[in-house]
Amino acid sequence: MTRERLAYLSLGSNMGNKLYYIVSAIQRINITNGVRVSKISSFYETDPWGVRDQDSFYNIALEIKTTLLPFELLRNLQKIETELSRKREFRWGPRTIDIDIIFYDDLKIGIEELTVPHPRYRDRNFVLKPMCEIYPHNELLLKYMKRDSSKIKKIIPKILVSSCLLGENCNYKGGNNKNNLLIKLENSVSYIPVCPEVMGGLETPRIPAEIKNNKVITKENSDVTEEFNRGATLALGKALENNCTLALMKGKSPSCGLGEIYSGDFTGKLVEGDGITAKLLLKNKIDIIPV
């Protein structure tokens, strides 16, 4: 069996919905074969480095446990950057997402394609500050912070989230869909939990429902569209009240699903479409990551 090794990553974004890109990257890293996210730092907002005439960055650091070799890990991280529309137009320019390997165990690699430890981490507080929170040898990092005088501040982003993903027993079966990655992220963000179906007046547990012909119909053929719409409106109100720009929603759900939902015939078949709440959030420019 291949031994797991510790690696430390630095993530940054300064284009579009920065929070969306960073959380999307964290999720994709965590579901990469041979990789699991073990620690997540706080979020920081930082001045741009290198090229000053661009928007500020959001930055975060991750500890991962991986069975991938360094170059395998690099290839997978570059693939995630491409999936999230990363374009390398010029050095140190704006980007939707940047993922750097800072440390990989105690290995030292020094070639053009990959240098580990990262060659410039000592000069960058946007790497050092988040990394100090999760790196076991952070005394080695603290002494470098005085080199960089750029502004950096800790922030606590607010994220709308399906309550069942945090372990609340509110899904239609009366259970939950607890997601361990979201639990790890809980110390870095402020969650605004919602269950649109319960907020709309439906009980827990409840008869399963799916969308068919633009109506939400239960397996017993009752129309619960009104309840789903009411819950969606209340969930949107929570998002707007808290200035949320991102929602983490339970995938495939008739309320929270994004991109694909159950077909309406209760056979487990998936079709293209969005849930009632997801549609309303998107209409109000709140990005969604299905979980």
Q: Which of 95, 124, 274, 287 is catalytic?
A: 95
Strand partners, 62: 9, 40
Nearest to 192 by CA among 281, 117, 262: 281
Q: Which of 28, 98, 274, 287 is catalytic?
A: 98
Are 239 and 284 in contact by the 8 Å Cβ rule? The answer is yes
Catalytic residue among 36, 47, 52, 86: 86
Spatial separation of the C-alpha atoms in residues 6 and 150, rounded to whole Å? 29
Cα 158 to Cα 3, 19, 56, 173, 191: the distances in Å are: 37, 10, 18, 28, 6
Per the annotation, the verdict on 86 as an active-site residue is yes
DSSP 258: -
What angle, rounded to 10 degrees, do the helices at 225-241 and 276-283 form? 40
The distance of Cα 276 from the centroid of its chain, to the nearest Å, equals 22
Q: Give the active site residue among 100, 148, 274, 287.
A: 100
DSSP summary character for residue 252:
B
First-residue to last-residue Cα distance in the chain: 29
Query: 101-135 burial, b if ≥16 CB within 10 A, otherwise e?
Result: bbbbeeeeeeeeeeebbbeebbebbbbbbbbbbbb
Q: Check: CB of residue 51 under 8 Å from CB of residue 89.
A: no
> Would you say 227 and 220 are in contact if contact means Cβ atoms under 8 Å apart?
no
Q: Catalytic positions, please?
A: 86, 95, 98, 100
